[in-house]
Structure 1
């Protein structure tokens, strides 16, 4: 490929008032980043295709420039960052109009009725905020055992300087105080189910005589608590909506932006008394989970519930928007009976009958509106309806009463899932019941004839259209880990034999282990050679697997992986526009074309009749129906397992653990409700006022050993700041510092950098300026170990406002080991899309200095130039190579940190050679001729390098 050399920007200030940032163009001529000479704003370049991921400044905000500027004035609410969009179109009839508690609509703009809060010093049942904080700390955060609580209180009481009795006498006093909380109380109930068929005399299977207990909480009361939670008052949609981007094309994000909710509203509006009401979709999810294999395979079957009004980011953040409402029964029998048709039928009927009974309390308000209090203080008329059900494939076929191997959504044959099909529907299945016998239903349509889905007689509910897309099990763990990664191993063994394939697999593991470190990227020190896989393991492997297999598999196989990863990352975006849907279709077509190599090579000789891969063909339709899939993924319920099932089980005595687990969940809900109530009343101060799942804002001065992560900051649209604490024991004099760090070019680079500050209209390359004409370097330089980039990345695990923070390091020793010098994206041309408008660089040093009372935060970097004019056609990622001078040294420059967009992840182009066994990942960025710009490092990287 021809080499395309990218120019290297040098940032210098503008003489215009309030602006001090320039950069040098390819010819060495300084050009302003803002043609109008307005104060340069690193947060508000919303017109740039490169910066399309950075939302504009919200109304009322005042962006701060590099050279000064201001923050929001007193009382100004900057609000969460948002992309440029037209105002949403809300449903004209079911539009969520506020009303009073009697259901009478209020005039537009009318405030809610005053809340009848107790006095501001009433922390009942706690004596004060300190007692609540302590109870929350001991019970929720630390999960201290009863004996340890007793010991703590005894030590507290025995301290001679103690001002009085301990806050709680013992663990019983603590538990009783939490139990006395009136907020968040939805009591647990139970019912029993038994087999009601004929039971023959004699040696009868035990499952026919055994009662099965189902524990549940009234979903109606739980939903009311969710809707009234003031924690969600700014993050709910009260009506179905249609949202549009800058180009007036439809966008799909939160659940209520999908077509299904709008279509349901069109039906509900025909019911009497529903005009002006709020349609509340009920989102359910269930999945068996095992808490301990070693102690006898302890299985539980939790049932979760959320509502469709809260935004996807809230549901993903687990801020009590997903509630545990039940534990379903798990019938078991001996080996002789476990595969009998009679037992399987009972098990299915038990499941559907339990769901039907639990949800019965919602039925009246599915047709007749009821008045409900919301978190914003307003009452609204509410109409409930069964919404999407979050489930993996085995659960989906159980829900739809279809046969394993068939699609639960469409009628495609189990022998040709990608062949002709139509959508399953309740009407179609009822017609099949009338026309066909049991055998034909099972064999020809995959319908289980002796069980009716629980949705069958609920208003407007059709289970076949309510099955949600499942990114975790269908895409990440299913197609990627279980299929594609496994097929690579099978291909290598079939092609090279068992012995050589093991050698190649070992090299792939070494390549995976050699990937450079990156914030938020899990490392695999031993490659992928471990047995117990989690969803997070699969997600992490996806980010680094493709370059690792290059050279060991055919190019078509690489293209199959590349096309699939494109599909995966596009469908996992937080906002999916019409252009993204087109790209999703194109990626899926490419994947279906390229995956044929697995069929031709004999790995999949019978084709690809795989339900989880077939499900990908439904994703475009499901995105249009339900919004972005990340708001309905089973990773939400699997994460909920930890807090609702696994941790309570570990805290139990293991004997009759379920009753104890119910109590623990009840107390956790009471603590959460009390925290929200006290915070809403202004009675808690940060940090205790923050919700349990909301990550604390991290200052730039925190321990440099962390990678930061999600942040709830809302007034920053995108910036890079140096860490606060400078590196100790480093010389401040530039000449001495250069000798200390073995960077002899540093003083001269500083002099040229300063020359550029003094000559903003420079029209010759800076390197041609005689050093004698350049100013002396600054007398004092402060070295910083890292910089912190804050940017808008809602598709990643970001804060509620969509903000993410990452640390970019430049240190001589990281975690007591080798040096770490991270790579970054540097802005080159804001008018070019994606990586075409960016440069890749590696930071060798972060530092700052003052000159004429102006602070210059800078970075010393080396550059990478792109190889070719397009991404690699097989891997689909841009390739870069280090810039080398005529002495074989990497070319260095000094840049202002405001030209840094964020961190970049580079993966070596490994080629055909095998890595040495003892190769260290810390040497990767110094050891290879070329690198891939890893657009799969996270979703934000994919969006800007796509």
Structure 2
């Protein structure tokens, strides 16, 4: 066995998942992958993501054309590597890309112009009907079944009309529950009144206590009114802790667009409630708004990547003694910081932003407590490998063991829009 698994009968979702991680894998492949191969891949990915915008401007179409030009400029590297044989790039789908911009100008955006629209019909009119035949001379049987189903449907509508009823539309699946925009937590915390000592041990939040003290001091200084006197600085003995934070995020370029739900986990190692199976800890990375003045809806200015260690709230019984007459903060987050992404740090070949762990002079990770409302969204990082792959790294521990990463802006459409 070569250790490489082959894929057969890949679904559209699997193709999308590969697309999200493809560039991060190529970047770490070392000198075996030429720079032009990475440029061509990046250009094609940019084209795919920009083409999916639900609203276009002259500027976005310009970026779309630039991505396509860059791909055609660098694509011959795949011929040199032997990755394309035969007719080379004479592919209908590849040829169709040059017509996208004109089609968008003439007919509008590309949403609903894909094979997903007809996939449902392929299931109803081919797969389901085939299973209802005896699998011998099935085409004639499928046509007959389809005709009978249509006649029965028409008769049903006719009967309902004669009875004065409105035919009920056929629902393929229950309507999806509407997701409100914003940050959402469970009604009840996963751990009520969790001692700070346990948080430090279970969540790996080594600087939780001093970070909380610093946050409370800064919060009181910011919100205290003239003439008011700050209370004596205190830190609670315990807090309410949540293991998941959900984000309802809308398309950045379309008003009143559908809202998509994303989740950031900050759960310690534990056992599954039913099976008692050991579950590893999971502390996802997030994008945090750290500077309101320089922040924009799109772009990384004023934003910083952090690893979400704890999502919590100070219990109400502490509010009076800690905050006095000042309105207490709502939910908070303890995050461990990565370096600030800068526009001039963006790699010229693959276009990803590098970030790395940041440390204090004593070797401790830099961390802080921020208001949960300042968190923009989850943020996926791709580890940066050296000349060889560290076999000790796994999906469960790579965030803890690796120090250098790239921001993966291809993780989803909203993240792509956020970065650019």
Normalised by the length of structure 2, the TM-score is: 0.79
Indicate which of 788, 799, 802 corresponds to 2:258. 802
- Tell me the distance in 1 between the aligned counterparts of 2:252 and 2:121: 20
Residue 870 of structure 1, CA deviation: 3.4
- Is 1:535 the counterpart of 2:16? The answer is no
Indicate which of 222, 236, 256 corresponds to 1:778. 236
1:755 counterpart SS class: helix
Indicate which of 374, 381, 388 corresponds to 1:906. 381
The alignment yields a C-alpha RMSD, in angstroms, of 3.6
- Tell me the distance in 1 between the aligned counterparts of 2:145 and 2:74: 52
- Is 1:580 the counterpart of 2:60? The answer is yes
Residue 613 of structure 1, CA deviation: 1.7
- Tell me the distance in 2 between the aligned counterparts of 1:737 and 1:598: 51
Cα distance change, pair 775–669 in 1 and its aligned pair in 2 (3 A): farther
- Tell me the distance in 1 between the aligned counterparts of 2:15 and 2:41: 14
Residue 541 of structure 1, CA deviation: 0.6
Residue 667 of structure 1, CA deviation: 6.8
- Is 1:627 the counterpart of 2:101? The answer is no
- Tell me the distance in 2 between the aligned counterparts of 1:673 and 1:640: 24
| Contact 1:731-1:740 within 8 A present in 2 as well | no
Q: Paired residue for 1:22?
A: none
- Is 1:894 the counterpart of 2:369? The answer is yes
2:194 counterpart SS class: coil
Indicate which of 271, 287, 295 corresponds to 1:830. 295
Residue 751 of structure 1, CA deviation: 1.8
Cα distance change, pair 535–748 in 1 and its aligned pair in 2 (3 A): same
Indicate which of 50, 58, 76 corresponds to 1:570. 50
| Contact 2:338-2:355 within 8 A present in 1 as well | yes
Indicate which of 186, 195, 209 corresponds to 1:747. 209
- Tell me the distance in 2 between the aligned counterparts of 1:674 and 1:873: 66
How does 1:449-848 map onto structure 2 within 5 Å? 529-550=6-27, 551=30, 552-601=32-81, 603-604=83-84, 608-650=89-131, 656-661=141-146, 663=148, 692-693=172-173, 695-697=175-177, 712-713=178-179, 716=180, 718-728=181-191, 731-739=193-201, 741-760=203-222, 775-793=233-251, 801-813=257-269, 816-828=278-290, 829-831=294-296, 833-848=298-313
Cα distance change, pair 873–611 in 1 and its aligned pair in 2 (3 A): same
- Is 1:864 the counterpart of 2:343? The answer is no
Residue 622 of structure 1, CA deviation: 1.2
CA deviation vs aligned residue, 1:284-320 (integer Å, no higher than 9, x gap): xxxxxxxxxxxxxxxxxxxxxxxxxxxxxxxxxxxxx
2:337 counterpart SS class: strand
| Contact 1:648-1:664 within 8 A present in 2 as well | no
Residue 583 of structure 1, CA deviation: 0.3
Residue 558 of structure 1, CA deviation: 0.6
Unaligned runs of 5+ in 1: 1-501, 510-525, 698-711, 763-772
Q: Paired residue for 1:931?
A: 405
Indicate which of 344, 357, 363 corresponds to 1:882. 357
| Contact 2:203-2:267 within 8 A present in 1 as well | no
Cα distance change, pair 660–865 in 1 and its aligned pair in 2 (3 A): same
| Contact 2:286-2:306 within 8 A present in 1 as well | yes
Residue 660 of structure 1, CA deviation: 3.6
- Tell me the distance in 1 between the aligned counterparts of 2:154 and 2:313: 48
| Contact 2:303-2:340 within 8 A present in 1 as well | no
- Tell me the distance in 1 between the aligned counterparts of 2:186 and 2:104: 41
Q: Paired residue for 1:320?
A: none
- Tell me the distance in 1 between the aligned counterparts of 2:187 and 2:156: 36
Residue 569 of structure 1, CA deviation: 0.7
| Contact 1:811-1:819 within 8 A present in 2 as well | yes
- Tell me the distance in 1 between the aligned counterparts of 2:61 and 2:20: 22
Over alpha carbons, which structure has the higher Rg?
A: 1
| Contact 2:20-2:411 within 8 A present in 1 as well | yes
Cα distance change, pair 650–661 in 1 and its aligned pair in 2 (3 A): farther
Normalised by the length of structure 1, the TM-score is: 0.37
Cα distance change, pair 672–615 in 1 and its aligned pair in 2 (3 A): farther
Residue 616 of structure 1, CA deviation: 1.2
Cα distance change, pair 810–832 in 1 and its aligned pair in 2 (3 A): closer
Unaligned runs of 5+ in 2: 225-230, 273-277, 321-326
| Contact 2:202-2:269 within 8 A present in 1 as well | no
